Amino acid sequence: MDWYGEFVSKLINCRLCPRLVNYRETVPPLPKFSGSDYWRRPVPPWGDLGNARIMIVGLAPAAHGGNRTGRMFTGDSSAQFLFRALYEAGLSSKPFSISRDDGVRVRCVYITSAVKCAPPNNKPTQGELSTCVEHWLRWEIEMVRPRAIIALGRVALEGVGKALGARLVFKHGSYVDVMGVRVFMSYHPSPRNTNTGKLRLGDLVNVLMMAKEYVGCP
Ligand code: SF4
């Protein structure tokens, strides 16, 4: 993917959203880390760049997850839940995602987010969502050309809809075909959803398996 290097080098210098730039750069570190352990920039996507048939779109990096480790869905509890599910679905080499050098490899999957900077309380404004989607997610979808997208949560689905020019209605476990892409929907694997049982591991594995079968990932 020749575009990927250019994409990441431009993305990590983005400062279009002043509120999010301030938050990502100043959020206090967790006690077991120091401020210098933190990435504090827009968080790059990653995945099976040579065979990215499924695009997984989260909401945004977590303040102490991607904003610390510098890789999307890496280093926080949402990431561990997602990667247990990816591993069970045969789409990840390991059932965890803890750092950029953890050696994890994913298959057929490209992992990104609707908003690329950690927002306070995990809540981007509508303006921030639109700005980020228009500058980055739309570009990614055009270049990756996934056969399936898995939107994790309502805000992620809204971002995917903006990128595809469609108004999409969220329903966990369902899918809709838009512009030649099948968009699957799942609740986000946030602690609030997983600790309450709103999203169980098997539920997410089922959505991943549906997408895997649809795109024909071997
Ligand atoms: Fe740029 Fe997106 Fe971060 Fe806004 S959220 S500063 S558009 S990378």
Q: What is the pLDDT tens value at each position of the chain, 218 positions in all?
A: 689 999 999 999 999 999 999 999 999 999 999 989 999 999 999 999 999 999 999 999 999 999 999 999 999 999 999 999 999 999 999 999 999 999 999 999 999 999 999 999 999 999 999 999 999 999 999 999 999 999 999 999 999 999 999 999 999 999 999 999 999 999 999 999 999 999 999 999 999 999 999 999 98
**Torsion over CA of 32, 37, 42 and 48, rounded to 10 degrees?**
-90
Distance CA 48, CA 176 (A): 24
Test site for ligand 1: of 12, 15, 17, 22, most ligand atoms within 8 A of the Cβ:
17
Structural domains in the chain, sorted by start: 2-215 (3.40.470.10)
Looking at the CA of residue 15, tell me the nearest atom of ligand 1: 6
User: pTM to 2 decimals?
Assistant: 0.98
**Cα-flanking dihedrals φ and ψ of residue 192, to 5°?**
-60, -40
**Torsion over CA of 102, 112, 11 and 24, rounded to 10 degrees?**
-80
Regarding the beta carbon of 40 and ligand 1, being less than 6 Å apart is answered: no
- Cβ atoms 179, 141 nearer than 8 A: no
Distance CA 162, CA 157 (A): 9
- Cβ atoms 53, 91 nearer than 8 A: no
Look at strands 148-152 and 181-186 and give their pairing.
parallel
